[in-house]
Amino acid sequence: MFHIVINGCQNVTMKGLKVLASGNSPNTDGIHVQMSSNVA
């Protein structure tokens, strides 16, 4: 499980993003980028 997935995207800009997960969460991958370009 991912909190945010950017898949097959181009020219992605994220600003002021805050990703939170519980301290006892079994999976805290956060942001997953795949098959994308120009991600900032």
Query: With 70 as the cut, is the pLDDT of residue 1 above it?
Result: no
Number of domains in the chain: 1
How far apart, in Å, do the first and last CA atoms of the chain sit? 22
Question: Model confidence over 2-14: pLDDT tens digits?
Answer: 788 999 999 999 9
Residue 26 is predicted with a pLDDT of 77
Domain of residue 12, residue span: 4-39
* CA 6/CA 34 separation, integer angstroms: 6
Sorted by sequence, the CB contacts under 8 Å of residue 6 that are 6+ apart come out as: 12, 31, 32, 33, 34, 36, 39
Q: Which of the two residues, 34 and 22, has the higher pLDDT score?
A: 34
Average pLDDT, rounded, for the chain = 88
Higher pLDDT, 39 or 28: 39
